[in-house]
Structure 1
C-alpha cells in the first residue's frame, strides 16, 4: 500500500512517493496510537449482542443500538469481577478505552468496568443497600412495634391526588367512620420525593399528634417507586416514635420502606383493612360483652342471695332458746354415751371374773394331785413295755444280720455242691498255679473235709 502526496508529476508521468511506504501493520499501529491518544476512558451505553466467554475467561461481545454497533472485549480478571451475568439483549453501561484490533483492522473497546443500565442498576443498588441495612439490624422483627388496636388519629403520607388515597379513605369510612384521618401531602415520585417524605415523616413523628402513620402510594416500576428505597427515609421509618405502616405499590412490589416499617400491607386498600377495626365486628363484640356483663351480674346476684340465706340460718341458730335446746340435746347424747360405756365396762369385768374363776378351779391342789397320780400310774408300766419292745426289736435285728451273713458266707456256697480247697498252710487254692504235682490239699465240703493229693499240675 502506497501513500502519495496527492500532487501530479510531470505531464504524463507518475507521481513519486512523498515519504516512505508503510506496511499494513505499521498503518494499524499508527491508527491505534491515534485512537488511544485521542480518546481517553469513555462510557458507552448499549445492548449486549453476541456474548461469548471462551475457556480463557475473557469476555467478547458487541454493544449496539438501533443504528450501529461496536465490538468490545473485557479481559480476565476484569470479567470475573462482574456483579451480574452478561446475557444477550441486556442493556449495560460500560467504561473502557478505544483501541484497534490490528489482526482484523477493526477498532474496539477494551473495557475495565461494566454495570447494568436502567432498572438493572437500580435493582443492584436496591439489593446492596438492603444487605447493608439488614446487617445493621434495621429490619429485625424484634424491633418492630405492635399497632394500636383502636387508633384515634391516623396520618397518611401520600399524594393527595392519587388513587391510593381515595382507596384508603373509602375503606376507612366503610369500616370505622370514628377514626380521624389526616392527609399529609407529599410527592411520591421524582427526585425530590424521598427528601420530602422523610421530612414529613419526621415532623409527624415528633408532633405526638398521631397514633399511627401510613406511608402509601399506588403501583409502578422500580424506578417509579425508587423514592421509597432512600436510605434516609428508611432510617427515619425505623427511628419513628409512632408505629409506621407501609403500603407501597402492588402486592408483588417491595421497597426498603416495607422492610423497615412495623407492618407491610400488600396494597393501600389492604392497609386500611388492617388498620381500622370493622364496625360490624365491634358491634358483635359489644353485644357479646353486654351479654357477658349481664351473666356476671346475675351470677353475682345469686351468690349474694345465697350468702344472705346462709347468714339468716346462722342468726337463727344463734338465738338463746335454740342454743339451750342444742345444749340439752348434747347433754342427753353425752348421758347415753356414758351409760353405754359403763355397761360395756361391767360386761368386760364380769367376763374377766368368769375367766379367773375357771383358771382357779383348774389350778386346785386336789385336781392337780389326781392328775399326778394318773401320770405316775401310766409311767409305771412304760419301762416294761419299753424293754419288751427293745428286746423284740433287737431280736429282729439279729435275725436280719444272720440272714445277711448267711447270704455272703462261703458255707452257703459249699452247701450247694461246691468245695473249698486249702493248702496245708491253710491258704485257699484259687488257681491251678497255686499247687504242684504231689501237693496235699484239704477239700472242705458241707458235711466235712477230704484229704486230696494233686497227681498232675500244669
Structure 2
C-alpha cells in the first residue's frame, strides 16, 4: 500500500533549520569572494556597523561590514562610489535573506592598481632586485648624463635648468619616451637597454612629474624594473613627488624625491666646486711655500755641512781642537803641580812636627807638667787623708772605752785576758785585772756572792 499524496512527510524542516542548512552550504561553497560594484543605501547606525547594497547594471546584493573592520576603512563610503569588496557569502537567518559579510573594502581602480603594485614589489624584492648590496655608487663628476623622460614635460625642464645652473660642463642628453599609457613601459624598457648598451653615458636618470597612481603605473612595470636592474651603468629614479614611491625607485641605484633633487644629486654645484678649488689652491700655495722654506733650510744645512767638510775647515777645526787640548793640558798640569806642592807643604809640616829634638822638648815639658801635677795630687791626697784620719780619730775617741774609763769606770779582765762581763760564776780567790784610765790594778775575788 502507498500513502496518499496529501499525507504529511516523515521528516519536516523548520525555517530555522532550513536557513542554517542554506547558510552552511553557502559558506562551504564560497568561503571568500572579491566583488566589484557600486554602493547604494549606505547606512552606519550608532552601533558602528556598516550596511550597504552592492549593485551593478543587472543585480544587487545586500552587504554588512561589522565593527571593528568598518572603522578601519581609509575612506568614507558614500552612495554611488565604485568599490572592490572582499567578503564571505552568508545568509541573514532571521529574514532568510542572502547577504555578504564584508571583511575588506577599497576603492575600485586605484585599489586594484595598489594591490598589483604591492604584489609585484613583494615578488621582485624576494628575487633580490631591491638588495642594497647591489646598489652602485654614482660617478663623482658625470661627464655625460642620459635623461629618460618625456621631451615636453615639466620634469625635463626642471632637470635641464638645474643642471645648466649648477654644472654647465655636463653633457646632458634627453632620451624622449612616453611616461604614461600602454606604450610607455615597453618604450622606457627599450630605451634603458639601448642607453646601457651604447656605453655613452656615465649615469642614467629616469624621471617624470607627479600624478596619480594610475599615471605612474609605467614606472611600476616589471619590464621596466628588470631593465633598470640589468643596466650596465648606474640608474637614478625620480618619479613623481616626494611622497610617491614606484617600483623603479626601489630597483634603481639611487632614488631622488623629485626631478630637481635628482639633478642636484647628479651634478655638483659649480660655485661650491669653485670655492673648493680656491681653497685647494690656497692650501697648495701654502704647502708649496712651506715646502720651499723646508727645502731652503735643508739646502742651507747641506751647504753648511759641505763647508764643514772642506780641508781648510777641517784643518782649522783640528787647530782649534789642538789649541783647546793644549790649554786643557796646561790647566791640568798646573792643577796637578799646585796639588803636589800643597801635599809637599803638608808633608813638610808633618815632618817638622815629628822631629826628635822637638819631640823630646815637648816630652820634657810634658814630663815637668806631669811631675807638677803629681806633686800637687800627692799633697792634695795627703791633706785629704790627714783630715780623714783626724775625723776618724775623733770619732774613734768618742766611742773608745778609754774615754769611758776617764769618767771613773774600769774594765775587768780574767786571768786569761778576757773581759769579765758578769759577776756570776766567779769563785772566791780568782785573780783579776782591772784597767783604769791611768793604769791597771791586780785584784782577787774575796767573796763569791
Q: TM-score band (shorter)?
A: 0.5 to 0.7
Task: Choose from 18, 38, 41 the match for 1:46.
Answer: 38
Aligned to 2:153: 162
Aligned to 1:61: 51
In 1, Cα distance between equivalents of 2:337 and 2:153: 111
Q: How does 1:8-407 map to 2 (within 5 A)?
A: 43-47=35-39, 49-50=42-43, 61-64=51-54, 70-73=61-64, 85-86=72-73, 89-90=76-77, 92-94=83-85, 101=92, 103-104=94-95, 106-109=97-100, 117-127=108-118, 129-130=120-121, 138-139=129-130, 141-356=132-347, 370=363
Confirm or deny: 8 A CA contact 1:50 1:88 kept in the other structure: no
Which shifted more, 332-341 or 161-170?
Answer: 161-170
In 2, Cα distance between equivalents of 1:212 and 1:252: 24
User: In the TM superposition, what is the alpha-carbon distance from 1:362 to its structure 2 partner?
Assistant: 6.9
TM (norm. structure 2) is 0.61
In 2, Cα distance between equivalents of 1:374 and 1:135: 133
User: In the TM superposition, what is the alpha-carbon distance from 1:306 to its structure 2 partner?
Assistant: 4.3
Aligned to 2:408: none
TM (norm. structure 1) is 0.60
Show structure 1 runs of 5+ residues with no match: 1-19, 393-458
Confirm or deny: 8 A CA contact 2:50 2:70 kept in the other structure: no
CA RMSD of the aligned region, Å?
A: 5.2
SS of equivalent to 1:245 = strand
Relative to structure 1, the CA distance from residue 153 to residue 373 in structure 2 (aligned partners, 3 Å threshold; closer, same or farther) is farther
Relative to structure 1, the CA distance from residue 215 to residue 295 in structure 2 (aligned partners, 3 Å threshold; closer, same or farther) is same
SS of equivalent to 1:210 = coil
User: In the TM superposition, what is the alpha-carbon distance from 1:341 to its structure 2 partner?
Assistant: 1.2
User: In the TM superposition, what is the alpha-carbon distance from 1:220 to its structure 2 partner?
Assistant: 0.4
Aligned to 2:414: none
Relative to structure 1, the CA distance from residue 245 to residue 42 in structure 2 (aligned partners, 3 Å threshold; closer, same or farther) is closer
Structure of greater Rg: 2
In 1, Cα distance between equivalents of 2:326 and 2:75: 118
Confirm or deny: 8 A CA contact 1:72 1:110 kept in the other structure: yes
Provide, for residues 131-168 of structure 1, a one-character-per-residue CA deviation record: whole Å limited to 9, x for no partner.
66556665455543332221111111112222211221
